[in-house]
Amino acid sequence: MMTPQEEQEKLLEEALTVVRTQSFQMKRCLDKSKLMDGLKHASNMLSELRTSLLSPKSYYELYMAISDELCHLETYLLDEFSKGRKVTDLYELVQYAGNIIPRLYLLITVGVVYIKSNELSRKDILKDLVEMCRGVQHPLRGLFLRNYLLQCTKNVLPDAEEDAEGGEVSVMSHAAPRAIAGLNKMVNSSDADAGTVRDSIDFIQLNFAEMNKLWVRMQHQGHSRDREKREQERRELRILVGTNLVRLSQLECVDVEKYKKLVLPGVLEQVVSCKDAIAQEYLMECVIQVFPDEYHLQTLNSFLQACADLHPDVNVKNVIIALIDRLAQFSHKGDVARTIPTEIQLFDIFSQQISLIIQNRPDMPPEDIVSLQVALINLALKCYPTKLDYVDKVLETTEEIFHRLNLDHLNASGAVSRELMRLMKIPVDNYNNVLELLKLEHYGPLMEYFDYQARKSMSIHLILNALENETSIPSPEQVEGILSLVGPLIQDQTDQPEKEDEEDFVEEQGYMGRFIQLLSGATTDQQYLILNTARKHFGNGGNRRIRHTLPAIVFAAYRLALKYYEFREEDEKWEKKCQKIFQFCHQTIGALIKAELAELPLRLFLQGALVISQMEFENHETVAYEFMSQAFTLYEDEISDSKAQLAAITLIISTFEKISCFGEESHEPLRTQCALAASKLLKKPDQCRGVTTCSHMFWSGKSRDGGGKEMRDGKRVMECLKKAGRIANQCMDKSVQVQLYVEILNSHIYFYEKGCSEIQITTLNELIAKIQEDIPNLESNDESDQINKHFANTIAHLKLAKQQSSPNYSYAGLDV
């Protein structure tokens, strides 16, 4: 048993065989000038189009094969007529063909030949042909018959305008060249018979109306279970109906006025009255695509009113969006902005008509409503880029619709949320300036309709846009506005989930830390107010967030203080302002301490002390001392891990060494505290390294009383190094002990070369000897290899230094 497809292929092949046979016979008869016999074979060939067994696709192939053969007949008849051989009453003769399908195809072919040969009135023949095609009411056969009529008359349609004063009628170049000469001749002899563009409009619109009726009728044939198949077949045939609109658009003499008064009303009346969703949606989109943008601009109201009257099943959203996108592109064609005529309030017209359509369609899905607003906001931004109020009007309308529909906390994965996300991102991506969003009164309130995930996603989009475009935020009010918009990235929300991905969270907070660098006031005073505003928002972020954001605010405040100092000549109150800034930083770092952080605030306090030491303002020593003492307090109270303790005390000592603003009264207790803290480390190796580090503080540390010069206290340096040696000697692990001796040796060499007279060559020889004695006893492993390498490099340095005499030091007497 054959499948339906195989059956179709068999039926089509049988029909094509008949076509080939009959067309061959037709051509033989025509070659022998036996016209009547040729017409008989042509009629037999055309009888194959009477079938009801073929699918639309197979019928189309058969139709194309027969159309090609009929071209041969038309060419023959034209040739005969051009030679002056007139066949009497041929036009009437073919009307006696036995069956209506062959009769009408032949009638169209001969009729077109008569028109091209000027035998009879073009206007009357066209009217006659389009009326007689009503004899075929079978949808499929009728559609293809009328399509044949449309194709054959393509180049002979009247495309001329009558002169207002009754002068000559001129034919446009729409017709074929040979037809033009004949038509002009015919026109000049009889204007009425030649016809005008009005006759062509009537002809095409009548043909269009009849084809559309046949097309719609296909929907109501057969069993209801085959509905989907019928709809698919109809979609395959839609281009046949749409070709009528293409022909209308190709008439040269159809200007805006004729389109407005004659063409569009007739088309819309037919589209609306057919009450078929498939036909209405396709034909409305077809109108949009085939006619020029300028015509649409002049007929917006009537087109959109028709959209409101379409069948409820029509996806009117697609139609309106297609029109909006077309007109939006029109204003930017060829990279040259075209201005919409001022008398056409494009945005207002679309806004009002879309509102009307939404009201008339209470069942329209919310996502489709938002899609219409997306198209409208695109139109506003492309056609009226400077009018922010148009964009805000769209946002306001959307907000009102959501309020009316009781929509709230839209799920991020839902269709409505996705469409709303598109709507909200368009202004961001179009302006590429987040400050413009603050001018949109309804942007923020509309964000509240999202659920947490969608709000966060939108907030990230805003911040990334600001970062990519390096948008500076120059006022406290603008900072307040932006940070209010991106609330989900700043502080906890009532609807956020209990657990979030930690990596994503850190990345998001990293964006916020970078965003803080964009907060840049026009003046220093403005910048201080900006930082206060930012601090207020970020301070509410909770312990997880503030570790990522508050440090950025502290560093921004340190930069601001240095800026005040740089321009101190221009501001009498700069000292008080600097004190206020450091007080602000102290409080901000205090918030990090309350969040049970230790190392981060310690580093920020030390950084603050370094910044203060570069500035000389009233009480700057007291403020710097406070920052250092706070760092010590954190070290003592909060840091318990031994490795962290060593890292922290090393950092404190290194920072203290660089600070030169302390008088001896403050400097002495701080350095004593450093030395004491280093010697109290839990592990002996840590103690040893900490005390060794302290030696640098006594050599290159600076105080105000010393005029900012290095202390170079060789005695204290030597005391530190000796103490380090004693601690190293107490280590039980031999490899650790040797490693510490190598490090102490390096410290001795450093200070010796820096000019510390308390360090003697004998001390160096003793250390070298001690290390050389212990190294052979170490177990062979990676750790001992590293110690050997370190010691070998040290000896190599000493040998080189001994060979290259220096004016500052001498290694004479060194045993290497």
DSSP character string of 616-644: --TTHHHHHHHHHHHHHHHHHHH---HHH
Length of the chain: 816
Residues 76-128: tens digit of each pLDDT: 988 888 877 665 577 777 877 779 999 999 999 998 988 888 755 788 889 99
- 587 band by pLDDT with thresholds 50, 70 and 90: very high
Contact 150, 207 (CB under 8 A): yes
Q: Is the dihedral of CA 581, 584, 590, 591 positive or negative?
A: negative
Contact 319, 281 (CB under 8 A): yes
Distance separating alpha carbons of residues 738 and 770, to the nearest angstrom: 9
Distance separating alpha carbons of residues 251 and 149, to the nearest angstrom: 17
Contact 688, 739 (CB under 8 A): no
The per-residue pLDDT for 169 is 45
Instruction: Determine what percent of the chain is predicted with pLDDT higher than 70.
Output: 94
The per-residue pLDDT for 407 is 86
Residue 783, number of CB atoms within 10 A of its CB: 15
The per-residue pLDDT for 447 is 94
φ, ψ (nearest 5 deg) of residue 684: -60, -45
Structure token pair of residue 746: 């390096």
User: What does the pLDDT average to over 428-451?
Assistant: 95
The per-residue pLDDT for 171 is 41
Least confident of 179-193, 321-335, 658-672: 179-193
Residue 633 reports pLDDT greater than 50: yes
Contact 600, 592 (CB under 8 A): yes
Please choose, from the candidates 462, 577, 580, the residue with its C-alpha nearest in 3D space to the C-alpha of residue 511: 462
Burial class (CB in 10 A: 0-12, 13-18, 19+), 715: exposed
- Please, where are the H alpha helices in 405-475? 415-431, 434-437, 443-447, 452-468
The per-residue pLDDT for 183 is 34
- 338 band by pLDDT with thresholds 50, 70 and 90: low
Contact 706, 748 (CB under 8 A): no
DSSP letter for each residue of 314-338: S-HHHHHHHHHHHHHHHTTGGGSPP
SS3 15: helix
DSSP letter for each residue of 683-704: SHHHHHHHHHHHHHHHHH-B-T
- 332 band by pLDDT with thresholds 50, 70 and 90: low
Contact 230, 221 (CB under 8 A): yes
Contact 596, 543 (CB under 8 A): yes
The per-residue pLDDT for 816 is 80
Least confident of 169-178, 356-365, 579-588: 169-178
How many Cα atoms within 13 Å fall on the side-chain side of residue 482? 31
Q: Is the dihedral of CA 463, 416, 235, 128 positive or negative?
A: negative
**768-774 contacts, C-beta under 8 A, 24 or more apart:** 768/795, 768/815, 768/816, 769/815, 770/741, 771/738, 771/741, 771/742, 771/745, 774/734, 774/737, 774/738, 774/741
Mean pLDDT, the chain, integer: 90
Q: Which amino acid is at 485?
A: L
Distance separating alpha carbons of residues 112 and 254, to the nearest angstrom: 23
User: What does the pLDDT average to over 757-772?
Assistant: 94
CB-based contacts of 585, cutoff 8 Å, min separation 6:
554, 557, 558, 604, 608
Contact 108, 148 (CB under 8 A): yes
Residues 162-208: tens digit of each pLDDT: 654 344 444 443 333 333 333 343 334 444 567 889 999 999 999 99
User: What does the pLDDT average to over 701-716?
Assistant: 89
Residues 11-34: tens digit of each pLDDT: 999 999 999 999 999 999 999 989
The per-residue pLDDT for 343 is 82
The per-residue pLDDT for 174 is 38
Between 534 and 339, name the one with better pLDDT: 534
- 333 band by pLDDT with thresholds 50, 70 and 90: low
Residue 367 reports pLDDT greater than 90: yes
Distance separating alpha carbons of residues 665 and 703, to the nearest angstrom: 10
The per-residue pLDDT for 306 is 93
CB-based contacts of 28, cutoff 8 Å, min separation 6:
none
User: What does the pLDDT average to over 360-367?
Assistant: 90
The per-residue pLDDT for 186 is 39
Distance separating alpha carbons of residues 671 and 649, to the nearest angstrom: 11
Please choose, from the candidates 546, 599, 571, the residue with its C-alpha nearest in 3D space to the C-alpha of residue 580: 571
Distance separating alpha carbons of residues 675 and 713, to the nearest angstrom: 14
The per-residue pLDDT for 178 is 32
Q: Which residues pair with 710 in a beta bridge?
A: 702
Contact 605, 624 (CB under 8 A): no
Structure token pair of residue 251: 């008439």
SS3 497: coil
The per-residue pLDDT for 589 is 97
Least confident of 38-42, 255-259, 332-336, 507-511: 332-336
Distance separating alpha carbons of residues 68 and 497, to the nearest angstrom: 69
The conformation of residue 135, written as its DSSP 8-state character, comes to G
CB-based contacts of 374, cutoff 8 Å, min separation 6:
321, 419, 422, 423, 426
φ, ψ (nearest 5 deg) of residue 469: -95, 0
Contact 280, 314 (CB under 8 A): yes
Distance separating alpha carbons of residues 655 and 653, to the nearest angstrom: 5
User: What does the pLDDT average to over 403-407?
Assistant: 89
Contact 416, 366 (CB under 8 A): yes
Structure token pair of residue 75: 């060419």
Distance separating alpha carbons of residues 421 and 407, to the nearest angstrom: 15
Contact 755, 808 (CB under 8 A): yes
Residues 211-252: tens digit of each pLDDT: 999 999 988 877 777 788 888 989 999 999 999 999 999 999
Q: Which amino acid is at 5?
A: Q
Please choose, from the candidates 391, 264, 239, the residue with its C-alpha nearest in 3D space to the C-alpha of residue 323: 264
Angle in degrees, 0-180, between the axes of helices 346-360 and 300-308, rounded to the nearest 10:
10
